[in-house]
Amino acid sequence: MKPFMNADFLLPDSCSQRLYHDYAAQMPIIDYHCHLPPADVAGNSCFRDLAHAWLGGDHYKWRAMRSNGIPEQDITGHEPDYQTFLAWAKTVPYLVGNPLYHWAHLELQRYFDIYEPLSEKTAPKIWEACNAVIDTPAFGARQLLMRMKVRAVGTTDDPGDTLEHHIAYAKKRQPGEPVMVPSYRPDKALAVEDPVAWKAYLGKLGAAAGMDIGSYKDLVVALQKRHEAFHELGCRASDHALIAPIAVFVSEQALEALFAKVIGGAVPTPEEAEAFKTGLLLEVGRMNARRGWAMQLHLAAIRNLNTSMFGKLGPDTGYDAAADRPIAEKLALFLNALQVDNLLPKTILYSGTPNDNAMIGTIIGAFQGPEARGKIQQGAAWWFNDTKQGMIDQMTSIANLSVFGNILGMLTDSRSFLSYARHEYYRRILCNWIGNLVENGEYPNDEEALRQLVEDICYNNVANYFQFQM
């Protein structure tokens, strides 16, 4: 029997152990897509206790606690922090096989040097030990990033945001501290299904761009102005959440007419809404291509399914699911519409369902180009797929259908400063997967080739792909 989550956790053979310890573990991290609050990075925020640091905003853990019958009051309510932590401690032993079990204990190990399994019995001792660490200057937000060798983080930001925290941090960042860059997420500019909210948003976007938005052309210009402002602050990627790809192509005149209809308060038909979204997203894709940015398309997730809980807690609280809509045809049409104008940017495709692995693997092969190695990518196993088996399945699919050595490694997609152990989890699985091929004689035991492969996937590919100014 192997020891519980020891130094060789998930590394069953000498090759995987060597690849991880000698190479993967040594590489820094570029977290190119996350949801860390820029204000916390800029202000080097601290935490009041373990519940605040570990459970606040983490809807993965909230879902697990709900599934374990924990009352909502003890999850997102206003009960004492220790009660929330205890509810989590009661849940953890039941998470056998769930990545949350592994993540939780990797986080305890790496941030607190605690190797004892968390349970209701061990909770009081772990609570006291962790809080003693949290109550030190070494546990500020930036110190946590540096401890995990994070070189850069890409936050998620609306074009209407002032980016004041990015500006302030860029001015005061000290050598050795991570770079923080915004990522351009214009989802609200596309959200014409709700004319009232959309019109209010245009006011915010116009204020950020320093102009009034009274037409579709004005909207594009405002987005272009904010795109330039983001670029000046180091942004090198846009980010878009879509249940399914969009590909209804209409003329600019038709888009102007749609703008006038919605700004007047009329609700567009589903096809009109898709046409409007397609037009704007194509514009963002062209902007990205001209500036060398990547376009990230997050697909196949349906959000806020529990409307009563959405009304109480709002979005991003754990009431989402994988979608099952067909996405291949419209995805190909959208990418091709940019390609025919030679304005297809670097593109990363994420799907909320593992059923899309092979489809994405074949589509990306149809649109590659010389602008970058792996110009069109399947992104890291995302959201419901970042499990041990989900990562293995995706690695296998990419290897079968694409160039595995070009992939962009892992990202956190997280709001937590304690989530960087997920990179370790990914890297251990990666080294296990590659090591197994070597042990089986399916890949040569060539140390230099293996080192290059592991270091590229963990760090170098991301650095070369995004070219953040670090």
> What does 21-74 look like in DSSP terms, one character per residue?
IIIGGGS-EEE-S----HHHHHHT---SSHHHHHTTT-HHHHHHHHHTT--GGG
Domain boundaries, the chain: 14-43+137-466, 46-136
Residue with tokens 């104008």: 341
Predicted local confidence at residue 232, as pLDDT:
98
Three-class DSSP category at 95: coil
For 372-394, the three-class secondary structure string (H helix, E strand, C coil) is CCCCEEECCCCHHHCCHHHHHHH
335-352 pLDDT tens trace: 999 999 999 999 999 999
**Pair 434, 449: CB distance under 8 Å:** no
| Residue 114 CA to its chain's centroid (Å) | 27
365-387 pLDDT tens trace: 999 999 999 999 999 999 999 99
**Pair 88, 59: CB distance under 8 Å:** no
Three-class DSSP category at 150: strand
Residue 358: what residue type?
Answer: A
Q: How many CB atoms lie within 10 A of CB 176?
A: 8
User: Cα torsion at 131, 137, 140, 145 (round to 10°)?
Assistant: -100
Residues in the chain: 470
**For 14-43+137-466, which CATH class?**
alpha beta
DSSP letter at 185 equals -
Cβ neighbors of 256 (< 8 A, separation 6 or more) are 215, 216, 217
Residue with tokens 């932590």: 85
pTM of the model: 0.97
Whole-angstrom distance, CA of residue 340 vs CA of residue 327 = 20
Q: How does pLDDT run along the chain (470 residues), one tens digit per residue?
A: 999 999 999 999 999 999 999 999 999 999 999 999 999 999 999 999 999 999 998 999 999 999 999 999 999 998 899 999 999 999 999 999 999 999 999 999 999 999 999 999 999 999 999 999 999 989 999 999 999 999 999 999 999 999 999 999 999 999 999 999 999 999 999 999 999 999 999 999 999 999 999 999 999 999 999 999 999 999 999 999 999 999 999 999 999 999 999 999 999 999 999 999 999 999 999 999 999 999 999 999 999 999 999 999 999 999 999 999 999 999 999 999 999 999 999 999 999 999 999 999 999 999 999 999 999 999 999 999 999 999 999 999 999 999 999 999 999 999 999 999 999 999 999 999 999 999 999 999 999 999 999 999 999 999 999 999 88
Whole-angstrom distance, CA of residue 289 vs CA of residue 385 = 29
Whole-angstrom distance, CA of residue 168 vs CA of residue 153 = 15
DSSP letter at 96 equals T
Looking at the domain 46-136, which fold is it? uronate isomerase, domain 2, chain A (1.10.2020)
Predicted local confidence at residue 78, as pLDDT:
80
CB hemisphere CA count around 145 (13 angstroms):
27
Predicted local confidence at residue 249, as pLDDT:
98
Residue 443: what residue type?
Answer: Y
Q: How many CB atoms lie within 10 A of CB 250?
A: 16
Cα-based distances in Å from 155 to 31, 164, 180, 414: 9, 13, 7, 10
Strands 179-181 and 150-154: parallel
Residue with tokens 């760090």: 459
Domains 14-43+137-466 and 46-136 share a fold: no
Cα-based distances in Å from 357 to 294, 301, 320, 401, 432: 20, 14, 20, 10, 20
Q: Which two tokens stand for residue 450?
A: 């293996």
Q: How many CB atoms lie within 10 A of CB 439?
A: 15
Q: Of 418, 392, 387, 246, which is closest to residue 330 (Cα–Cα)?
A: 246
Q: Of 104, 109, 157, which is closest to residue 129 (Cα–Cα)?
A: 109
DSSP letter at 327 equals -
Q: Phi, psi at residue 133, to the nearest 5°?
A: -75, -40
Predicted local confidence at residue 279, as pLDDT:
98
Q: Which two tokens stand for residue 191?
A: 């959200």
Three-class DSSP category at 146: helix
Cα-based distances in Å from 95 to 5, 68, 104, 159, 316: 15, 9, 10, 39, 22
Whole-angstrom distance, CA of residue 34 vs CA of residue 114 = 26
Q: Which residues of 189-215 are buried (b: 16+ CB within 10 A; e: fewer)?
A: bbebeebeebeebbeebbebbeeebee
Predicted local confidence at residue 101, as pLDDT:
98
Q: Which two tokens stand for residue 305?
A: 């399914």
